[in-house]
Structures are given as structure tokens and as C-alpha cells.
Amino acid sequence: MSEHLYLGQQLLDQFGSQCIKTQELERVPFEHDWRGRTAAKALAVAIPQTLEEVQALVRWCHHHDVNIVPQGGNTGLCGGSVPSPRIAHPQLILSLSRLKHIRQLDLDNDTLTVEAGCTLQEIQELAEQHDRLFPLSLASEGSCQIGGNLSTNAGGVQVLRYGSMRALTLGLEVVLPDGKLWNGLRGLRKDNTGYDLKQVFIGAEGTLGIITAATLKLFPQPLKQAVTWIALESPQNALQLFHALRAKLGEQISSFELIGRKPLALALKHIPGARDPLPEVHPWQVLVQIDGLDHSECADLLNALLTEQDLIRDALVAQNESQGKAMWALREHLSEAQRIEGPSLKHDISLPMSAIPTFIEQAQIKLEEAHPGISIVCFGHLGDGNLHYNIFPAEAVTTAQELEQREGERISRIILDLVAQLGGSFSAEHGVGQFKVAELARYRDPVELGLMRQLKAAWDPKGIMNPGKIFDLP
């Protein structure tokens, strides 16, 4: 009997077929990443229903030296949630999707304690039922899970006002690589008692332990909200507009999304029912959400700005909720439209906000010089200094792998070297996973990388937690 078969049978005997899936048909959906860029065979998929079952599974893996790949909604974009094809040693996918209890809703403390497998949308809806807001918002919110959001420190479209998962979390519960439980589910906004361990697990992409529950912050629902679509000449104008609005509104701006012409054109081409909010074609647009203003107050503000500064080419303020939702739907379908168009090289980059116009200008010059005929799809969360900067090749290709092999390295190097030169990061909100391991080694300071490795070695000495992710294999 092969090692895989033997271990799979042992798992089945111990945990039962409700929890353990060893058949190919059952495993396959868990073994492929969302973009279809990587897949590898897992020993089995474990879908535990209780915290105790998670602990028992981890203890079993620790004892048998079996690697663990934690998986939430499998919407991650760096291949972190699926087994690595470079590892021969058995890898067990541990899906958190059945760990879905709501442990505590404390409205007087504005906190919600939930298990890791709740989807983001379920948490948003629960908060809303109690007249509260859980502000994390991503296009994948129907599928991604709180445990995955925490492990990738997810950002999304309201980071500007509320911060990413790091800022939205007060406590964590984690099963450690040897099966021990750390209960750090504290609902405290102030707690200066030594190291803040939860921050080490947030963004660790499942390489240090399994997050099983979290205490999240809730906020009041905004009483009024305006959504507006504004056309501009350039990213520089967008930055100026951002500061002009901030000067008037302070923290009330909850989203400030920059959208280039190309991604908008792809959404209009591929998404059924999509319509440009404005009648004319413009090179750049921003989608702005403002809390605490209604649509007429927002229109007055934009009119006042129009007379003060010559920044805006045209603008539409949503007159009602459904118009606002249509503007957001356009923004949220930008990634899907690119997927339909065909393979592209994706970059999720972070820059000081002040460097964004320079980056966009210089990157275009460098890329078009080196690779004539490419097209650049640029959009993102300008208010957070985060751009999604994707490249379609001059000649159509059929698979992402083909694109990467042909031009990927050279194109990405131009982009990421410029990002580094301007003080930015090669990954803003998507993490490192297995696709950006080489970038971490290339762009991170060796001292910082060394500290990260020491931490990993100390907390997971057997190296069983999600190997091949973040760091290269030993």
C-alpha cells in the first residue's frame, strides 16, 4: 500500500467519512486555486465540524509529519489555499467551511465573535440585522471566509475609513501546529500586556497555525451615504481631488477607487447590463463613497469644488440606492471582465499615495518601450495607495502559464523594480502564497526575512503548516 493510501485510510478510520474526503471527485474542487493557475494532489480533504475535531486533526498531522494546508473559501489570489505541486510529502487540505458558529454578539461592546468558516457576507448581514456595520467589503464576499480574510489580512474597498482585517480584529483563537489551543478571544480595545500575538497570525497565510474563531469590531451603520462617479483627466488630478475632498470631509470618505479607461471598457464589453454612468468617454474615473452626506449634499459639494478648482471633467451623483449599487457593481465586476477577456499578468501593488501618478506615468513609458502592443489595465484603491496593475500581452495567449513563460518575468520585473524604487510593495492585499515567494526573497530586507524565518522555525518547528507558502522550501 502506498504511503498516501495508508495515511488516507488511517484518517478515514479515525475521523470518519463525514469529515475525511479521499476520493478524487471529492478532492478536486479543493485542489485547484480560484484562478486555475495551480493544482496539486492532496492526501485528503478534512472538513471538521468542531474545534475539538480541528485540534485532533492537527495533532494527528503533527504526529505523522503530514503537512496541513488550511483552506477557507479558496478565493485567495496567490495559491496559498491549495497544496504546493513542489512538495512530494503528503499534504492534507483542512477546510474550515463547517466551522460556522456565532459564538457571541455583544452589542454593548460592539463586537461579534464568530468561527472561522462564516462567510464574509454572512457576517455583514448579521451585523446589519442588528443595525451595525462590519465594514470589510470585497467582490468575493459571498464565498471568502473570516478565517481566510484574517489569514490574508484582507483589505477591499473601505480600508480608507475602517482599515484592513488587522484593524477590524480584537481577538483570535488559534490551533497551533502541535494541536494546542491559544484562546486569545478578548474583546478589548486597549490591552498592552506584552506582544500582540494576534497580529502575527493575521496575514500569516496559514503558515503558523489555524485560526478557528475571531472577535471582530462592529461599527454604527452610516446614517446617510452618497456614491458618486467622477471623470478626470489624469491620476494626478485624482490625487488632487482626493486631498480636496479630504480637506472638506475628513474621515467621511469611505472609498476612493481609481478606474482607468481600459478596465472600464472591458467591463462594458463583457458584463451583461453594464453601462457607463457618464455619456462621454474619459481617460480616468473615480468612484467615491462618502458617509454622512446625502446625494444633494454631495452634488452641492462637487459643484463648490468645480468652481474652486479645475479638476473634474464630469460627474454623476447616484440619486438613489439602486444607482449607487449599479456604480459599485461596475467596480466589482472589473476583475471578472478581465478574466473573461483572457489571461493577463496581475500585480497587486502598494505605493505611497504621492508616488501613484509618477508610477503610472513611468511604468507605461517603460513597458510600452520594452513590449510594444501590450495593454495596461490599471485600477485600484487610490485612497489606500493600492493599484491592481494588470497587463494583457500584444499577442493573445490561451493560458496564464503560457503568458508567464513567454513574457511574465520581464514584464513583472519592470513593474516591480519601479514599485521598489518608489518605496512600494509587490503585494498590497493579496499576500505572498506560493506565487510570490521569489518576490519576497528578492525585495524584502534580508534581516527582516531572517526574523520571519526564525519566527516560523520557533512556532512550527516541524514545518508542517502550509509549506512552500511565503518562504521557499528549506
393 near ligand FAD, judged by CB under 6 A: no
Element (H, E) at 92: strand 91-95
Residue of 113, 228, 427, 466 that binds ligand FAD (CB under 6 A):
466
Applying CB under 6 A, which part among 141-149, 313-321, 323-331, 364-372 lies near ligand FAD?
141-149
Residue whose beta carbon is closest to ligand FAD: 148
Select the span of 6-14, 77-85, 214-222, 281-289 touching ligand FAD (CB under 6 A): 77-85
Sign of the Cα torsion 374, 379, 380, 385 reads: positive
With binding defined as CB under 6 A, does residue 464 bind ligand FAD?
no
Of 94, 4, 87, 95, the closest CA to residue 38 belongs to 87
75 makes contact with ligand FAD (CB under 6 A): yes
- Contact criterion met (CB below 8 Å) for 67 and 87: yes
Does the protein bind ligand FAD through residue 34 (CB under 6 A)? Answer: yes
Stretch that binds ligand FAD, among 146-154, 271-279, 322-330, 437-445 (CB under 6 A): 146-154
Q: Which is nearer to ligand FAD, 237 or 386 (CB)?
A: 386
Bridge partners, 39 (sequence order): 32
Give least dist CB 42 to ligand FAD, A: 12
Q: Looking at 44, 45, 114, 138, which residue binds ligand FAD (CB under 6 A)?
A: 138
Residue spans of alpha helices (H) in 87-211:
120-129, 146-151, 159-162, 165-168, 197-201
In whole angstroms, give the CA distance from residue 435 to residue 467. Answer: 13
Environment class of 4 (CB within 10 Å of its CB; exposed 0-12, middle 13-18, buried 19+) = middle
Instruction: Give the residue with the Cβ less far from ligand FAD, 71 or 113.
Output: 71
Give yes or no for residue 350 binding ligand FAD (CB under 6 A).
no
Determine if 148 is a binding residue for ligand FAD (CB under 6 A).
yes
Q: Which residues contact 25 (CB under 8 A, 6 or more apart)?
A: none
The residue from 139, 253, 293, 356 that contacts ligand FAD (CB under 6 A) is: 139
| Residue from 7, 40, 144, 293 binding ligand FAD (CB under 6 A) | 144
Using alpha carbons, select from 109, 101, 168, 104 the residue that is nearest to residue 134. Answer: 168
- Spatial neighbors of 28 by CB under 8 A, at least 6 apart, are none
Grid cell for residue 424: 512600494
Choose, by CB under 6 A, the member of 96, 123, 286, 318 that binds ligand FAD. 96
* Contacts with 156 (C-beta within 8 Å, 6 or more apart), sequence order: 136, 137, 138, 164, 381, 429
Contact segment (CB under 6 A) with ligand FAD among 135-143, 188-196, 214-222, 312-320 equals: 135-143
Residue from 22, 38, 55, 74 that binds ligand FAD (CB under 6 A)? 74
Residues in contact with ligand FAD, counted by CB under 6 A, come to a total of 37
274 versus 278: smaller Cβ distance to ligand FAD: 274
Tell me the C-alpha distance between 474 and 471, whole Å: 8
Residues at the interface with ligand FAD (CB under 6 A): 34, 69-77, 80-81, 96, 116, 138-140, 144-145, 147-149, 151-152, 154-156, 205-206, 210-211, 335, 429-430, 433, 466, 469
